[in-house]
Structure 1
């Protein structure tokens, strides 16, 4: 099923012209996709298999980037007009140019082309990750207003973004983490998950690289000539190596997962042992992030199950102060998902849900925080470390 939400300009990015009939995206690891029961897959389509959960190595993703990427920046302003974050994003037209260059006569049918057509979503094929959605901007505003920049000081942080796409909330956290003095920072883990591996490769990883490069462009020798053309970043081997060296030096980890939400996805997230690695020192703050992830009843059910599985693992395995921040439209017309449905189902599973933000202009949207009952006092939004 392919459809557009038709929200009259509500989305940040307009869809590009259609590239023709789109195939299912290829699995970059060469594994055949096994059919998944509809009850446990995020976007079930009768008779069609879902992409299996797959982990992707950062070094391999970086090695597949082109020699330069074009970008623009999105300013996220708070209600008082203050800019909470200026987030770089790779241009969609630049993604299309890369796909055309790599297509090698395939007629625009290569991996990744499925997301550059006229539809916002192609169920079971492409789940909207190339576009930046306004609910993800709402989530950035909430993270800023809830004092999360301050709470990064002196605490290990785990940020897990489900359905990350262009990853605006995680990018804001990454920028705030980079702004801390090294003496104030602690291990910071980003886990970025999107249904489509092509989204991780073509926009998620480039956006993190852009955020690092822009933050350090006047400080790092490798970046001295990397911004010689306005709106472009040159990606020489020295730039890519400097990025990885910085992450290692600041104890920042980037992990990438693709595939449908399912018990197997949760198992992959925590490794063969089923438990998250636990280091010495204070328990971490765990932020589970999701924007525009509940657009249909099927997606809502799988997202809800995954959220509670992850919150439970974070608390049981790490003793983490864990909370989920969910941003969505109040109602997805014509497809059945809604923020109120998420709240109802979360409360039925033992969740304590707090409404943090409401947007009434245009299509109504909201942001909520969800914690497991009995752990409200461990809510990271209420804890600010000095």
Structure 2
């Protein structure tokens, strides 16, 4: 039996249309392919997993293969995040969901209605239990993480030593995209290649389709807009066919890869359920990619937003997070490892809560510090977890 549910909480949205209430940050909709509003179906108590249905096994996804699956053009919008209430903002691009639907219909040769039925996450439910974990939409706790990372000066920390950022349950990857933009700007200011240290960005989502349909395109968009702002790349100037579309020509994709290499930034993509096998694959495929020659002084930061929405999700996430932090302590004792997690204080009707997560991590021996609390609308918080 499948359980479909949504996180439909009044006051929990950044909404373009004041007449709607959503728990996600909305993207603009094309007139012909308007995204349906978030369902008000009550959340199921047995949110995850589905009895008798195997969870997706962990898998690593090659960047070149993912690039080969991209369409010739993508449409996008930008989300403006106020970082400090004093006018400092960051513009984070996101591929439009209607554009994702267009790609899927072209690939599958289906009508829109058929495509929505067969592709979880593009219909009325925020989460389709055991099948789709919400990655096509952006959640408010991910914006909280962007603000906290800016306040904690995380971009500067991760650019001082060889570093790893792991976003578990990345989806549209707003926090990682913000860090990526900051890293590009800081590395551009470096005077030589020797001033740049390796940075591995590991993006993990339960669904492979989320990674290639929104996560990777969002990184290309973030890079392209940063480059366009400098006005030094004629290939990109021609690729922006409008202010809201980017042509993904072979020249653009080649320039994207070359920029990653020159900046010493590695993108790594993993899918599948959190598990010991997931952690093992993480260390086999992701860390070795950009840190093979790095010394022990490695900064590792794990981030996650809205990853603890049910007791099962909370337990599997906490166990996976603990495994990563313990492995970092064991294998890189001279390095630094921490986790910054954003979530709602309580997921009504589902059973997960930030307090339960804090209790679980403290039960594992971790120290937990509150970095941010949001009292307006549905209450949310951001905490940092460390192992002594």
Q: TM-score, normalized by length of structure 2?
A: 0.86
CA deviation after TM superposition for structure 1 residue 59, in Å: 0.8
Provide structure 2 residue ranges, at least 5 long, that are not aligned to the other structure: 11-21, 28-33, 38-46
Do structure 1's residue 164 and structure 2's residue 188 form an aligned pair? no
Task: Identify the residue that residue 331 of structure 1 maps to in structure 2.
Answer: 346
Task: Identify the residue that residue 383 of structure 1 maps to in structure 2.
Answer: none
Do structure 1's residue 13 and structure 2's residue 41 form an aligned pair? no
| 1:17-48 deviation per Cα after TM superposition (whole angstroms, max 9, x unaligned) | 39xxxxxxxxxxxxxxxxxxxxxxx9421110
CA deviation after TM superposition for structure 1 residue 272, in Å: 7.9
Task: Identify the residue that residue 173 of structure 1 maps to in structure 2.
Answer: 179
Match of 1:216 among 206, 216, 227: 227
| 1:223-265 deviation per Cα after TM superposition (whole angstroms, max 9, x unaligned) | 1201131201011000001101111121110000000001110
Q: Is the contact between residue 83 and residue 146 of structure 2 (CA under 8 Å) also seen in structure 1?
A: no
Task: Identify the residue that residue 382 of structure 2 maps to in structure 1.
Answer: 367
CA deviation after TM superposition for structure 1 residue 282, in Å: 5.9
Match of 1:306 among 314, 320, 324: 320
Match of 1:247 among 255, 260, 265: 260
| 1:331-379 deviation per Cα after TM superposition (whole angstroms, max 9, x unaligned) | 000000000000000000001000000001100000000001x2xxxxx
2: CA distance, partners of 1:241 / 1:357? 40
| Corresponding residue SS for 1:192 | strand
Q: Is the contact between residue 43 and residue 260 of structure 1 (CA under 8 Å) also seen in structure 2?
A: no
Do structure 1's residue 54 and structure 2's residue 59 form an aligned pair? yes
1: CA distance, partners of 2:77 / 2:153? 26
Q: TM-score, normalized by length of structure 1?
A: 0.86
Match of 2:366 among 348, 351, 368: 351
Task: Identify the residue that residue 294 of structure 1 maps to in structure 2.
Answer: 308
1: CA distance, partners of 2:141 / 2:116? 29
Do structure 1's residue 197 and structure 2's residue 208 form an aligned pair? yes
Cα 1:273–1:343 shift into 2, 3 Å: closer
Matches within 5 A, 1:1-386: 1-8=3-10, 9-13=22-26, 16-17=35-36, 43-105=48-110, 108-109=114-115, 113-180=119-186, 181-182=189-190, 183=192, 184-217=195-228, 218-271=231-284, 278-281=292-295, 283-319=297-333, 320-372=335-387, 374=388
